[in-house]
Chain A
Amino acid sequence: KAGVTQTPRYLIKTRGQQVTLSCSPISGHRSVSWYQQTPGQGLQFLFEYFSETQRNKGNFPGRFSGRQFSNSRSEMNVSTLELGDSALYLCASSQTGRVVGELFFGEGSRLTVL
């Protein structure tokens, strides 16, 4: 069974640009969550999608957005990039979404903003 797949794995952008990250969950998993991981702040929750609906949202500015498609694949977008957006962005999927916490993480997309 294939794991959670995130693309791209690494990317470099400049301030003011925008970026789109993609996540394909484990087959059969309908819940997808996104996290930002930085050395200082640890794992910070961005948002969670279940059956194409945003079920929960963290405390990030509106520049951070996401969506989920009918096949459960998800994308997140960050507009007007700032230096502080440099981080590892992790996507995680879970089977039914009933238990919020049993997550399977992808390898992440490492974003560097110059």
Chain B
Amino acid sequence: QKEVEQNSGPLSVPEGAIASLNCTYSDRGSQSFFWYRQYSGKSPELIMSIYSNGDKEDGRFTAQLNKASQYVSLLIRDSQPSDSATYLCAVTGTASKLTFGTGTRLQVTL
């Protein structure tokens, strides 16, 4: 079982729709959770962090965390073509190592 799992996609959503990206993790002691966005040919960029159960909203982005289910998600409202990128879920486990998922490629279509 991979430490951090994501569906590789591509996830295709029409412009203006809600994109829902999901991630599961195996280390039950994990405490910190992050979403990074990586455009093609660029380096990852931190867009959201979440540390406690529930929702955290920042503009069009909402991160959701459920530690009991070992599940973290990212919702992007009013998706724009500029949101087309690979979204990486990252988790800090009990060994204080940051582990990345392999990413979900999002395509926002016109």
| A residues lining the B interface (CB < 8 Å) | 33, 35, 41-43, 45, 48, 55-56, 58, 90, 99-108
Contact = CB atoms under 8 A, between A and B. Distances in A.
Interface residues of B, number: 22
Most buried by B among A90, A103, A106, A108: A103
Given A43-B88, A99-B32, A100-B32, A105 B96 contact: no
B95 interface: yes
A43 B4 CA distance: 11
B102 A42 contact: yes
A100 B92 contact: yes
A111 to B, nearest CB: 15
Contacts, number: 53
A6 to B, nearest CB: 9
Given A45-B99, A56-B96, 15 more contacts: A33-B98, A35-B100, A42-B101, A42-B102, A42-B103, A43-B100, A100-B97, A100-B98, A101-B49, A101-B91, A101-B92, A102-B34, A103-B46, A103-B98, A106-B43
18 contacts: A43-B100, A45-B98, A45-B100, A48-B97, A56-B95, A56-B97, A99-B49, A100-B92, A100-B98, A101-B34, A102-B46, A104-B46, A105-B43, A105-B44, A105-B45, A106-B43, A107-B42, A107-B43
B88 A58 contact: no
Interface string B53-76: 000000000000000000000000
Nearest to A40: B102
Nearest to B33: A101
A103 B100 CA distance: 12
Interface of B: 32-34, 42-46, 49, 88, 90-92, 95-103
Contacts of A33: 98
Contact of A101 (B42, B90, B102): B90
Given A100-B32, A105-B44, A45 B97 contact: yes
Contacts of A45: 97-100
